[in-house]
Homo-oligomer: A and B are copies of this chain.
Amino acid sequence: MDLGTALGLLLGLGFITIGILSNHGDLRWFLDLDAIVVVLGGTFAATLVNYPLKNISNIFKVLGQAFTQEEIGHQEVIEELVIKAELARKMGITALETDLDKVSDNFLRDGLELAINEKDPLRLRNYLELELSNMDRRHSLGQEIFLYMGAYAPAFGMLGTVLGLIIMMTHFSASESGGAIGVEFDVAKKFAELLGGMGLALITTFYGVLLSNLVFLPLAGKLKRKSEEELMVKDIIVEGIIGIHAKDHPIILRERLMTFVPQSKRKQKD
């Protein structure tokens, strides 16, 4: 499990809570159902216009990925590929077919299967890279939805504030110019009403900025990072399969694949 995502969200809410309490604020003032309806509802509605339903229904599955962690060890993948390369060098590439079921990674298994059947190295590379670019295209869609929500949320937050200000001002104006004015005009009370209305109006801005900067944009960032890491492992696998297919010497293959691993980590290994 990726504790960072959950921890970050909790910490963020915690820091905001500290900020509210230390300013002698009341947490209940910040729980406003109507404000949530305008900001979250508006953001959801705009997303519904922006994306086909099937992409949106995918959102929770994509969201799950931001909270889980599949520790993908570059070194382990490289070792697995080098072992396959040794086998293929000694016994021919068809020898890989027997252990194919034991390969856990789908992409590696499909790729090896193709490498066994395909003669032409160029077509093998084309196929693998097409698969990668299509995977990238599907991944970036998930991130994109959160980026869009991160852009819509503050807009609807601002919309709610403008809406609240219009109502407050029109109310104030209407009650004054229309109603009978008493002898003792209570300035203080009116002013208090005005400020209270402004405070309420600002709550949607608060939600919009918070949702965008603590939830939507960072989640889009996390998904992007996860996708980049997965694609880097897939890049290693593609280079490895090409090398196995070309019957590269396992030592040279490992050296080439190790360029994908940060130099600092390589040191530790040696």
Contacts and interface: CB of A to CB of B under 8 A. Distances in A.
A227 interface: no
Main secondary structure of the interface of A (DSSP, over half): helix
Contact of A42 (B12, B23, B195): B12
Interface stretch (A45-53, A76-84, A85-93, A94-102): A45-53
Contacts of A170: 25-26, 29, 196, 199
Contacts of A194: 195
A250 interface: no
Interface in A28-83: 29-30, 34-35, 37-38, 41-42, 44-53, 55-56, 66, 69
A7 to B, nearest CB: 6
Interface of A: 2-5, 7-9, 11-12, 14-16, 18-20, 22-26, 29-30, 34-35, 37-38, 41-42, 44-53, 55-56, 66, 69, 106, 114, 127, 130-131, 134-135, 137-138, 148, 151-152, 155-156, 158-160, 162-177, 181, 185-196, 198-200, 202-206, 209-210, 212-215, 217-219, 221-222, 225-226, 229, 232, 255-256, 259-260, 262-263
21 contacts: A4-B53, A5-B48, A8-B45, A8-B50, A15-B37, A23-B163, A25-B171, A46-B218, A49-B222, A50-B217, A52-B226, A135-B263, A155-B209, A159-B206, A165-B198, A172-B196, A176-B188, A176-B191, A181-B188, A185-B188, A187-B188
A-B pairs, 6 with minimum CB distance: A173-B196, A8-B48, A176-B192, A12-B45, A169-B199, A15-B41
